[in-house]
Amino acid sequence: MAKLSQRQVLADIAPSDDFNASAPKWEGFRFAQLSGGEITASVEKIYEGGDPFPKVLCAPFEIGDITLTAHYDDDDTESDYGAGIAYKIQELRQMVGRVYYHLNVQTYDCDIAIARLDRVYNNTLLVGITEAEGDASSGAPATFALTFAVQGVSQADPQGATQ
């Protein structure tokens, strides 16, 4: 089986109509970096009456926040093809903690999506925006990041529909 590179894992987002349809749309936009989404469960270790080894009680699992990062552009206009990044971030500033998005994390193999490997995070709450930072001595591309609190994860079936 071929190994995947990090560049073959991309994410896109779409506003959740269930909660806030007025959120900026991101049609066709892929985020260059994805981090977070780790799944962990807290445990409690109980030593009963001098037992040398504990009994382990487990709590329900939690999914960590997901941060999506992409390259920033300074287009603050809206056109027939959608809005630039600066325009969308300007709209999102007032929506942090109030707008929900569906996140779709896709895995690609030679630029072809492998739908059965998709992870879908429905109704994630936007909890943070990290705007582009500046450095007058650098030529590196500026990036921005959106951070989402996750409620759950589902997977896609081989045809790409979520389960």
pLDDT digits (tens, 9 = 90+) for 150-163: 998 887 655 545 54
Is residue 85 predicted with pLDDT exceeding 90?
no
Q: Which domains, from first to last, does the chain contain?
A: 6-155 (2.30.110)
Beta bridge partners of 35: 67
Is residue 68 predicted with pLDDT exceeding 90?
yes
User: According to the model, what pLDDT value does residue 159 have?
Assistant: 53
List, in order, residues 6 or more apart from 49 with CB less than 8 Å away: none
What phi-psi label fits residue 49: left (phi over 0), alpha (psi between -120 and 50 degrees) or beta?
left
Apex 33 CA angle, 26 and 102, nearest 5? 40
What is the four-CA torsion angle of 11, 12, 15, 16, rounded to 10 degrees? -50
The label of the residue with tokens 């892929």 reads: 30
**Lowest mean pLDDT across 51-60, 63-72, 80-89, 115-124:** 80-89
Percentages (nearest 5) of helix, strand, coil residues in the chain: 10, 45, 45
User: According to the model, what pLDDT value does residue 79 have?
Assistant: 55
Q: Percent of the chain scored above 70 by pLDDT?
A: 79
pLDDT digits (tens, 9 = 90+) for 99-110: 999 998 887 777
pLDDT digits (tens, 9 = 90+) for 15-24: 887 667 678 8
List, in order, residues 6 or more apart from 98 with CB less than 8 Å away: 20, 126
Reported pTM: 0.80
The arithmetic mean of pLDDT across residues 6-10, rounded, is 68
SS (H, E, C) 116-157: HHCEEEEEEEEEEEECCCCCCCCCCCCEEEEEEECCCCEEEC
Structure tokens at 32: 């260059």
User: According to the model, what pLDDT value does residue 74 have?
Assistant: 72
